Amino acid sequence: MTTNKLRQMYTVASVTFLSGILLTSTIMMMIPSAEAYDPQPQIWFGSKNTKDLGKFLKYEKYDGYGWHTKVNVMIYAPGWNTDSGKYDTIGTSEDEPIGMIVRNNTEGESGAVRSLSPCGFTETGPDTGLFYGRVKLSGTDLDVNGDGKEEKKFGGSACSNIAIGSSKHPHREAAKLETTQAGALTVWWKYNDSFNGNEVVSRTAHYSMSEAKIEFSQEYYEHDDRILIKVTDKDLKGTPKDKATVMTRVYSDSDSAGVTIEFDKKLNPAILYLTTENESNGRVLYAQPGDTIYAEYDDYLMPPVDADGRTYSIGNCHSSTQCDPSDHKTILAIAKILR
Ligand SMILES: [Ca+2]
Ligand SMILES: [Ca+2]
Ligand SMILES: [Ca+2]
């Protein structure tokens, strides 16, 4: 055998040896330990309140939640379905807690960081291995409409810990956490507290106040048409009753003072009529044929930065009747009155 051939064989042998090591270590990594034999738990967030995983995952969502809304959380953990005949629970103990934390983007604001645990989840059915909980982002008391007075009944942070007995089922509300202008919610579950692993699954979603929209029902109106004005502000929708008065200022080229119209609690479209003869009053606006009409809404619940790059901060309340004004944006809709 020549020296050359020897060297070649040596090279081949070492490659085989090396790949042998790699293969062995790959296999070793793939062999599950006895206690982690079940599939690794997984966690998802979604905007749909459903216990059906397929439907839930169609509405999977981690961005664009409002400051005052609900986040649905699903945890897949077949190893914790210990009794196929009953609804099991997870995350209720100090050893294996489900915890939640909210971080707000502005330090020092009310509810800036809140961490809660343990918050229990229940199985979606007796034998599913899927566990479900709803998290309420509860907002915080603040002046939502710029009148200097605080709107109450927002806020509050609590875990509905099913282990210690709670009136609220986790499918309705596992926890609620206080939120402000924008930030993030993280839900985590420490599912293994054994000596060789602090194993945790977690997910994070981002939330923010958002810019409102205002629109007329049509671009052009005849003078005797019924006019509808709609305000869409996700930040006020679904808030408890009697929270805040939401108004729009409506005016025309012929009457720049115009009228102020109040929306109902559900923010249903407001109705407006036109007159060419009388002064503006109530829901009737003085306008001449050919005028442009205008509807304005002041949004005091703005995101930290709007689409144009302008920044907005939320004011603090020193008492319930003394609030620093928040930065606001005036949002405008226009329509044309035909001749
Ligand atoms: Ca079960
Ligand atoms: Ca107010
Ligand atoms: Ca808003």
Q: Say if residue 231 is in the same domain as residue 285.
A: yes
Tell me the mean pLDDT in the region 112-141: 91
CATH of the domain at 306: 2.60.40
130 shares a domain with 228: no
Contact call for residues 152 and 110 (beta carbons, < 8 A): no
Ligand nearest to C-alpha 323? 2
CA 310 to ligand 3 centroid distance, Å: 14
Domain coverage including residue 14: 1-31
For residue 316, what are the CA distances in angstroms to 20, 160, 194, 239, 306? Answer: 65, 29, 45, 20, 20
Which of the 8 DSSP states describes residue 242? T
Which stretch of DSSP H or E encloses residue 191?
Answer: strand 182-192
Q: How far is the CA of 141 from the centre of ligand 2 (A)?
A: 10
pLDDT of residue 47: 96
Report CA(112)–ligand 2 centroid distance (Å). 21
Give the ligand whose atoms come closest to the C-alpha of residue 81. 1
Q: Any idea which ligand is nearest the CA of 85?
A: 1
Pair 41, 7 in one domain:
no
Q: Identify whether residues 17 and 132 lie together within a single domain.
A: no
Measured CA angle at 245 (ends 239, 251), to 5 deg: 130
Lowest mean pLDDT among 18-27, 200-209, 322-331: 18-27
Residues 6+ apart with CB under 8 A from 235: 66, 67, 68, 144, 209, 210, 212, 299, 301
Ligand 1 geometric centre to CA of 195 (Å): 26
Question: When comparing pLDDT for 292 and 154, which is higher?
Answer: 292
Which residue type, as a one-letter code, is found at position 63?
D
C-alpha 144 to ligand 2 mean position (Å): 5
Counting ligands in written order, the one closest to the CA of 124 is 1
Give the end-to-end CA distance of the chain in Å, rounded to a whole number: 106
Query: How many whole angstroms from 238 Cα to the centroid of ligand 2?
Result: 17
CA of 212 relative to ligand 3 center, distance in Å:
5
Ligand with an atom nearest the CA of residue 236: 3
The mean pLDDT value of the chain amounts to 85
Query: How many Å apart are CA 284 and CA 272, to the nearest integer?
Result: 6
Q: Which run of H or E residues covers position 182?
A: strand 182-192
Is the pLDDT confidence value at 222 over 70? yes
CA 203 to CA 184: how far, in whole Å?
Answer: 10
- Encoded amino acid at 91, one letter: G
How many helices (DSSP H) and strands (DSSP E) are in the chain? 3, 22
Q: Is the pLDDT of residue 20 over 60?
A: no
Please give the distance, rounded to the nearest whole angstrom, from the Cα atom of residue 106 to the centre of ligand 2. Answer: 21
Q: 31: pLDDT confidence band, cut at 50, 70 and 90?
A: very low
Query: 275 C-alpha vs ligand 3 centroid, how far in Å?
Result: 32
Q: Residue 130 — very low, low, confident or very high, per pLDDT cuts 50/70/90?
A: very high
Instruction: Say how many Å lie between the CA of residue 76 and the centre of ligand 1.
Output: 12
Residue pair 111/157 in contact by the 8 Å Cβ criterion: yes
Question: Across residues 65-91, what is the average pLDDT?
Answer: 95
Amino acid at 215: E
Residue of 186, 183, 161, 188 whose CA lies nearest to 173: 161
What is the pTM for the complete model shown?
A: 0.80
Bridge partners (DSSP) listed for residue 183: 104, 207
- All residues with CB under 5 Å from ion ligand 1: 81, 83, 88
Domain boundary among 172, 190, 208: 208
pLDDT for the residue numbered 12: 45
Q: Which ligand is nearest to the CA of 68?
A: 3
Give the ligand whose atoms come closest to the C-alpha of residue 210.
3
Q: Are residues 176 and 272 in the same domain?
A: no
- Nearest C-alpha neighbor of 183 from the set 112, 234, 133, 115: 112
Cα-to-centroid distance, 83 and ligand 2 (Å): 51
Statement to judge: residues 65 and 144 lie in one domain: yes
3-class secondary structure, 22: helix
Give the span between the Cα atoms of 86 and 81, in whole angstroms. 9
The beta-strand segments (E) located in 193-255 are 199-208, 213-216, 220-221, 227-232, 247-252
Ligand lying closest to the C-alpha of residue 243:
2
Query: From the CA of 185, how far away is ligand 3's center (Å)?
Result: 19
At 13, phi and psi to the nearest 5? Answer: -60, -40
Q: Are residues 60 and 102 in the same domain?
A: yes
Q: State the residue for tokens 């985590």.
A: 188
In angstroms, rounded to a whole number, what is the distance separating the alpha carbons of residues 143 and 161? 32
Task: Judge if 124 and 232 occupy the same domain.
Answer: no
Say if residue 55 is in the same domain as residue 128: yes
Percent of the chain with pLDDT over 90: 62
User: Per the structure, how many domains does the chain have?
Assistant: 3
Q: Do 161 and 307 belong to one domain?
A: no
For range 321-325, the mean pLDDT:
93
Q: 207 or 108: which carries more pLDDT confidence?
A: 207
Bond into 39 cis (ω within 30): no
142 C-alpha to ligand 2 centroid (Å): 7
| 236 and 194 share one domain | no
Query: What spacing in Å lies between the alpha carbon of 239 and ligand 3's midpoint?
Result: 13
Task: Assign 35 to helix, strand or coil.
Answer: helix
Per-residue pLDDT at 237:
72
User: pLDDT at position 189, please?
Assistant: 94
My answer on whether 289 and 219 are in the same domain is yes
Pairwise CA distance, residues 324 & 149, whole Å: 9
* Rounded-to-integer distance, Cα 134 and Cα 154, Å: 17
What digits encode the pLDDT tens for the residues 140-196? 888 998 989 998 888 888 887 776 666 667 788 899 999 989 999 999 999 987 766
